[in-house]
Structure 1
Amino acid sequence: MNQFARYLRHYCTKPELPKCDFIPKKYKGLSYNEMKEIRNVNVNPVLITYYSEPLALHQGYKQWLFDIYGKRYLDMFAGVCTVAVGHCHPKINEAVKEQMDTLGHITTLYFNTKLQEYAKKLAGKLPGNLESIYFVNSGSEANDLALLIARAYTGKFDVMSLKNCYHGMTYQTMGLTSNNTYKYPVAGPAGMFTTLNPDVYRGLWGGQNCRDSPVQTDRSCNCSGECQAGLKYLEQFEHELKHDIPKTGLAAFWAESIQGLGGAVQYPKNFIKGVYEMVKSKGGLYVADEVQTGFGRTGEHFWGFEGHGIVPDIVTMAKGIGNGYPLAAVATTPEIAGALTKAAHFNTFGGNPIGCTVGKTVLEIIEEEKLQENSKNIGTYLLLELEKLKSKFSIVGDVRGKGLMIGVELVEDKDSKVPLDGARMMKFWEKCLDLGLIIGRGGLHGNVIRIKPPMCITKEDSDFTLKVMELSLKDV
């Protein structure tokens, strides 16, 4: 084999998509150009699209998506970590059709059996006394309601979250969110504070034994026993409390169990538990944002916070809860939930019979198809294989995550950790799409690959993902 042929074989061989017997329907909708024109004229311009040429999708099946031309893609982003059990799952479709033929909508002013059945089943998945559920429609709305509950219960006003976090896009939750991409030049809500993000890869402190993950950073670590990086970040958190928060204490502290939009950032093992104890000692509530890490995605546990050894006071959840249906919930104790009765509170669509049917069916599928176990097994395999890319490519700075909540941070070089240039990042991203792989981006600089697929993916899907990413990295 001559040198040119060897080059072609090594660099130009297109990885073959895993087999799929599903045949999509023939597309009969608007043309691509018609969609483009309508988008430009009739859709608010803030709703940006991915890729230089926006992807026009037509149909989904399990882990697969098909565009309007019939091309198949492996979806390793799941509609931003949302399609938990697979696109258009037949069991969900059947249950929704049956419910639509029975009762489409009533409010919580009346009983409907689906709300009661689902509330009981969902509460049964939560530890401790987290048995009072309030259904809403989105993660932003869930965190907004949790903020109201925390302030009403504690009688305190100030709340705190982590830098680099994302908790939603209502006016109030934009105050909790700490990423300037989502900050408008208008006066923000009062009483919102942030503390240093305990990122063991990019932060001030961290080492090779800090994360609850199959893969670790390359930073050196001299810890013996308790993680020293975690203790330093806790000292910083205490420092923030002393300078920014009244002596009466916080109303609540918010944290994602693993940061999602921020780039799958994980904290030192002892950090969250230490924050929890500190907040509780001052009469505040701990709110666990499980919008992305809940419902078995992290593999080892059903909820991400369980990996930190705590039982929160309030849990907010969305995304995977409804497999793409607009459904979310706030779970708390009966005592804390009672604070909401100080005034009237109502949600027209929260607890809708169709939404509750979807949510209950999602829980059944996760159990029946052992998707939490699959997240652990396939996620661990994928993480360990992705870690090998660090030794092959100087631009792969860090691999992190747990289960099927994975981030790969791309940098200019490993020593400086300067985020990979945007043009090079786009080249990599577009190459993956050309080869049939859909992945996400995140982090403050958009240089973190976000891999959060439907939890039904297989080892073959993981191998395809690895081949495409390696080939695309070679291009960069």
Structure 2
Amino acid sequence: MENQNVIKNFRHVGLVVRNIKKSLDFYQNFLGLTIARQDTETGDFISHLAGIDNVTIEWIKLNIPGGGLLELIQHHSHPDPRTNQKPDLSLTNQLGCSHPAFTVSDLQALHDHLTRNGYQCLSEPLHSPDGKVKVLFAYDPDGILLELVEEKAQRGGSKVRIKTKHRIIKDGFVLEKGDLYYQLYEMEPHSAAQAIPITWSKAKDFSVYDDQGNKWIDMTSGIFVANAGHANPAIKAAIQKQLDDDLLFAYNYPTTIRRDLVSRLLSLSSPHFTKVALLNSGSEAVDLAYKLIKNWGNRTNRRHIISLRGSYHGRGLSNDLICGNKNKADWSGVSDPGIHFIDFPYKESDEFNPDHLPPAKDITAFFLETFQGWGAWFYPPKFITKLYDFAKQNGILICFDEMQSGFYRIGPLYGYMTYGEIEPDILCLGKGMASSLPLSAVLSRDEIIDYDKKADLHGTHSGNPLCSAAGLASLNFLSDPKQIEKRTEVMNVFQSELSKLSEFSSIKQVNARGMIAGLIFNESDTATKVALGCINRGVLVVCTFRESIKLAPPLTITADAVYEAVGVIRDCIANTEKA
């Protein structure tokens, strides 16, 4: 053949059918075949291509047990080229191999070669709706319909496009929503759908793997959870021991593992913290802290809580009320007129000014993120110093939400410790507390936690034995002096390498402390393009879909992995600026 196309077996059989939806029902419900993948962004598992002469082609691929694909295809309004009659589409006549499918190296060249030699093609080469796959349907000399797919467009192939010490991205990888995504999308709230549709099949240390064998450097820790690394061996061993002890649930009855966790947490924390309330999620911890503050306000006849605009404190009614978006709780019809918002001090020169606050005698507490989450914005030191002094002079509580900053994420055990010698009254903890299973906590003093002895400050699964075992193992691992020394060196590399990115014109600012960073871009579109570029090249970052990218790798990441990841980020920024 003059265009020297190399044709390869595509390992799937195609059947032309009369009604694709009925056939799909037959093969799924009677033969047990499953949908192989999704080709559209619409939620419709059946994909469509529009050709010439009002031809519409619909297809869907099904997994054949033992390997290979069965493709059902329906095409409309196109006669048989030999008889000018529409083909007999009965299943009986189609059960041989109605249309074999092959991959080719140059689809356009093959199309031109076929048409020059009098062979019938249904259309020009067609792109799938997402533009990722190029397909041509043509008839062979016997009138059998052939599907020809351009080789470089194939997904899930075995060729490796990127392979380094810490990354593997296979040729044909496309960041797209697949079957599993849409199956969950149909059954779960749409708001629960992950914007970055990577199917996690395994996560180990600072690496994430998908079901196609791709491997990413994880610069997210999931979402600031895997501080001790994914599937940490010490945590796995502790969970396994607890499993072997046959104690997976105990309500709030006393257990030694819960006692050991609470005792260890208090021993590591500042001695002014004397009580721990164990919970399951960060939102629960914030909700409990809100309850403690409201109770304290009732006791002291104070009703105002000061929060910061732009802050985030979880999901739930009380969380929405305290978040730095006064409209976030509008869905409920409930408001708390006692919550007062002040601006976050984004500039280093910004100082705390109490002049615009309610009278100090009416303020119950300051409710603060340790840093503002979306961009890892830290408070200017003078701001916190003045706020703390003002609070202590006026008997006002200080609560830090340490979800993202706790458990050595930014250096010390808790992030508030980076602001000097201060003693918060309440801490909300979670995420990295167990580096794996759901576990959260509230730390405070006796007189605050036990003021209302009738308050329900626990839940059905609070202090669950498995979660407590994971939490204790995580604490012991992270607090080990050897681990602290090792990660301190890597933190220095992390901050140093990221600070160099400020030389790019598209970057407004680099916020980095410990092992958390926010790259602040001038434009949100640029940030999103860079983030998606990183993910396509094997570096998983937090894509905020606003003018920032967040980075928070497991604290076990190695220096060479940091160098590699930041190198990819640098290349993606440079490529985006050139585009």
Give me the TM-score of the superposition, normalised by structure 2: 0.66
Q: 2:535 maps to what in 1?
A: 433
CA deviation profile, 1:373-419 (whole Å, cap 9, x unmatched): 4443222222222222222x2001111121001111111xxxxxxxx
SS at match of 1:296: coil
Is residue 317–residue 329 contact of structure 2 (8 Å, CA) maintained in 1?
no
Greater strand fraction, Structure 1 or Structure 2: 2
Q: 1:38 maps to what in 2?
A: 183
Q: 2:249 aligns with which of 66, 83, 105?
A: 105
C-alpha distance in structure 1 between counterparts of 2:201 and 2:320, whole Å: 32
Segments of structure 1 that go 5 or more residues without pairing to the other structure are 1-13, 22-31, 201-205, 207-228, 412-419
CA deviation profile, 1:292-321 (whole Å, cap 9, x unmatched): 11111111x211111112110011100000
Quick one: which amino acid aligns to residue 366 of structure 2? Answer: F
Deviation at 1:441, TM superposition (A): 3.0
C-alpha distance in structure 1 between counterparts of 2:521 and 2:333, whole Å: 34
C-alpha distance in structure 1 between counterparts of 2:334 and 2:573, whole Å: 40
Aligned CA RMSD, in angstroms, stands at 2.3
Q: 1:276 maps to what in 2?
A: 388
C-alpha distance in structure 2 between counterparts of 1:140 and 1:426, whole Å: 27
* Greater alpha carbon shift after TM alignment, 172-181 vs 290-299: 172-181
C-alpha distance in structure 2 between counterparts of 1:337 and 1:80, whole Å: 29
Deviation at 1:367, TM superposition (A): 2.6
Q: 2:308 aligns with which of 155, 162, 166?
A: 162
* Greater alpha carbon shift after TM alignment, 375-384 vs 177-186: 177-186
Deviation at 1:34, TM superposition (A): 3.3
Assess, with a 3 A threshold, how the Cα gap between structure 1 residues 153 and 182 changes in structure 2: closer, same or farther.
Answer: closer
Assess, with a 3 A threshold, how the Cα gap between structure 1 residues 247 and 267 changes in structure 2: closer, same or farther.
Answer: closer
Q: Work out whether 1:47 is the aligned partner of 2:192.
A: yes
Q: 1:192 maps to what in 2?
A: 339
Q: 1:337 maps to what in 2?
A: 449
Is residue 295–residue 372 contact of structure 1 (8 Å, CA) maintained in 2?
no
* Residue pairs, 1:356-367, within 5 angstroms: 356-367=468-479
* Residue pairs, 1:245-260, within 5 angstroms: 245=358, 248-260=361-373
Quick one: which amino acid aligns to residue 192 of structure 1? Answer: I
Quick one: which amino acid aligns to residue 379 of structure 2? Answer: Y
SS at match of 1:364: helix
Q: 2:201 maps to what in 1?
A: 58
Is residue 372–residue 378 contact of structure 2 (8 Å, CA) maintained in 1?
yes
Quote the sequence identity (%): 25
C-alpha distance in structure 2 between counterparts of 1:377 and 1:151, whole Å: 42
Deviation at 1:454, TM superposition (A): 0.5
SS at match of 2:223: helix
Deviation at 1:161, TM superposition (A): 1.2
Quick one: which amino acid aligns to residue 157 of structure 1? Answer: R
Deviation at 1:20, TM superposition (A): 8.6
Q: Work out whether 1:290 is the aligned partner of 2:290.
A: no
Q: 1:415 maps to what in 2?
A: none
Quick one: which amino acid aligns to residue 567 of structure 2? Answer: K
SS at match of 2:550: strand
Deviation at 1:247, TM superposition (A): 5.5
Q: 1:405 aligns with which of 494, 497, 516?
A: 516
Segments of structure 2 that go 5 or more residues without pairing to the other structure are 1-160, 169-176
* Greater alpha carbon shift after TM alignment, 65-74 vs 365-374: 365-374
C-alpha distance in structure 2 between counterparts of 1:474 and 1:343, whole Å: 55
C-alpha distance in structure 2 between counterparts of 1:20 and 1:470, whole Å: 16
Q: Work out whether 1:313 is the aligned partner of 2:458.
A: no
Quick one: which amino acid aligns to residue 370 of structure 2? Answer: S
Deviation at 1:240, TM superposition (A): 2.8
SS at match of 1:398: strand
Is residue 132–residue 334 contact of structure 1 (8 Å, CA) maintained in 2?
yes
Deviation at 1:325, TM superposition (A): 1.0
Assess, with a 3 A threshold, how the Cα gap between structure 1 residues 467 and 255 changes in structure 2: closer, same or farther.
Answer: same
Deviation at 1:447, TM superposition (A): 1.6
C-alpha distance in structure 2 between counterparts of 1:276 and 1:387, whole Å: 30
Q: 1:68 aligns with which of 186, 189, 211?
A: 211
CA deviation profile, 1:87-117 (whole Å, cap 9, x unmatched): 1112111211221222110011x21001111
- Higher-Rg member (1/2): 2
Q: 2:572 maps to what in 1?
A: 472
Is residue 228–residue 477 contact of structure 2 (8 Å, CA) maintained in 1?
yes
Assess, with a 3 A threshold, how the Cα gap between structure 1 residues 318 and 450 changes in structure 2: closer, same or farther.
Answer: same
Q: 1:129 maps to what in 2?
A: 272
CA deviation profile, 1:145-176 (whole Å, cap 9, x unmatched): 01111221342332111112111111111111
Pick 1 or 2: higher relative contact order, CA cutoff 8 A, min separation 6.
Answer: 1
Q: 1:114 maps to what in 2?
A: 257
Q: 1:304 aligns with which of 398, 409, 415?
A: 415
Q: 2:356 aligns with which of 225, 232, 240?
A: 240
Is residue 520–residue 549 contact of structure 2 (8 Å, CA) maintained in 1?
yes
SS at match of 2:519: strand
The number of residue pairs the alignment matches comes to 403
Assess, with a 3 A threshold, how the Cα gap between structure 1 residues 426 and 266 changes in structure 2: closer, same or farther.
Answer: same
Q: 1:11 maps to what in 2?
A: none
C-alpha distance in structure 2 between counterparts of 1:322 and 1:182, whole Å: 29
Quick one: which amino acid aligns to residue 355 of structure 2? Answer: H
Give me the TM-score of the superposition, normalised by structure 1: 0.80
C-alpha distance in structure 2 between counterparts of 1:426 and 1:181, whole Å: 26
Deviation at 1:239, TM superposition (A): 2.3
C-alpha distance in structure 2 between counterparts of 1:249 and 1:388, whole Å: 46
C-alpha distance in structure 1 between counterparts of 2:488 and 2:261, whole Å: 25
Assess, with a 3 A threshold, how the Cα gap between structure 1 residues 344 and 55 changes in structure 2: closer, same or farther.
Answer: closer
SS at match of 2:261: helix
Greater helix fraction, Structure 1 or Structure 2: 1
Q: 2:115 maps to what in 1?
A: none
Is residue 16–residue 464 contact of structure 1 (8 Å, CA) maintained in 2?
no
CA deviation profile, 1:422-446 (whole Å, cap 9, x unmatched): 2x3332112101110001134xx62
C-alpha distance in structure 2 between counterparts of 1:450 and 1:154, whole Å: 36
SS at match of 2:405: coil
* Residue pairs, 1:202-241, within 5 angstroms: 206=348, 229-230=349-350, 233-235=351-353, 238-241=354-357
Q: 2:558 maps to what in 1?
A: 458
C-alpha distance in structure 1 between counterparts of 2:483 and 2:499, whole Å: 23
Quick one: which amino acid aligns to residue 111 of structure 1? Answer: P
